[in-house]
Amino acid sequence: MNSNSVIRLTQTVKKGGCAAKVAAGELRTILAGVRFPPKDSNVLIDGDHFDDAAIIKVSDELALVQTLDFFTPTVDTPYLFGKIAAANALSDVYAMGGVPKTALAILAFPTDVFEPRVIQEVLQGACDILAEAKVSLVGGHSIDDETLKFGLSVTGYVHPNAIWTNQGARVGDDLILTKAIGTGTLNASLKWGGSTEDDLKSAYDSMTKLNDLSLILNAQTKLAIHAATDVTGFGLSGHAFQMAKASLCKLQIEFDEVPILPRAREMLREDFLTKAHQTNHEYTRDALTWVSLKQGKMSTLESAGLPIDWKLLHDPQTSGGLLLSVDPSQSAQLLQALRKEFLVASRIGRVCAQDANEPNRLIEVIAR
């Protein structure tokens, strides 16, 4: 590549960010056919419930949080891509209530296409996010590949009695989302020429924002969080479904309370979609009930008349926010604290008991 040429990273890959994930339904089918090794007795959390990271107990006072996340470019600027990828990987540790400590880099790129400065900028973006998070980069692995892929394997600490999982939501809890949704359609609009990076600054500010709640929460408010997950490639619908399924409850989401990134509705209406919008719909369609105060109650199979905006629930997020299931007696206090750092954090619904007549309907979405 000529040193004076400019390469658009999004044009070098077919799909980018968490939209490139293997579809959740397909992944469950694949994993169901694999015989896994015996589980060590100190493994407290593994992938059984699609939690965000694994937890391994070291002592009565310490457990390790382990995760791995990487993807193809969502943006054209190498430095920005590195920042987003790093923030996204760290989020898995924060979603478990942990503090990230070390990271290993995973890097693949075509050596005959990208000159060293491109990869240096990706790595520098990641290193600057790691420095902000006070995380040490301790090594990594790279390969010569046809497309650029980058991410991190992250290890963190958590007290064994202070772990968050997606399994602890309780009936009556409030649901809080820390970031706005819409990165999937916005990233698609960049790739296909509907937007520029300058147009999407709000989205990139969100994607590079660390989901670190440690400076916001005190001991009491942390205990008020009964369950947590970060919202990424399976969309708000998919990650809410996994929380409801793991917690044996139903989540009721008030669509009009869900924060949405600027221009996301506009880009969605201009049909900037990803394959993940469809696969996330397929993953959750048997669990979702739509309640439109104008049209009444319907299943997703009957939802053709719904506003296209509702597809944002299936929008694959890259470095999205945390979905928290919170004790209702403390949710207002927690939300007030969150908004000092996460300006659009919102209460978006509540946790309900499963309906005995429709036990598989685990997500109910209500819109005015």
Active-site residue numbers? Answer: 18
CB 351 within 8 A of CB 325: yes
Q: Indicate the pairing of strand 99-109 with strand 63-71.
A: unpaired
- State the Cα–Cα distance between residues 169 and 22, nearest whole angstrom: 26
Span between the terminal Cα atoms of the chain, in Å: 53
Say if strands 288-292 and 363-367 run parallel, antiparallel, or are unpaired.
Answer: parallel
CA angle 270, 275, 279 (to 5 degrees): 120
Contact 354, 268 (CB under 8 A): no
Exposed / middle / buried, residue 298 (Cβ in 10 Å: 0-12, 13-18, 19+): middle
SS3 category, 222: helix
Place of tokens 């440690």: 214
Burial of 69 (0-12, 13-18, 19+ CB in 10 A): buried
CB 183 within 8 Å of CB 207: yes
Q: How far apart are CA 240 and CA 230, in angstroms?
A: 10
Q: Where are the beta strands (DSSP E) in the chain?
A: 43-45, 54-57, 63-71, 99-109, 136-144, 149-158, 174-177, 225-230, 250-254, 288-292, 296-299, 322-326, 346-352, 363-367
Mapped onto helix, strand or coil, the DSSP state of residue 207 is helix
Q: Take residue 29 and report the two structure tokens written for it.
A: 């089918």
Q: Which two tokens stand for residue 162?
A: 């202070």
CB 238 within 8 A of CB 280: yes
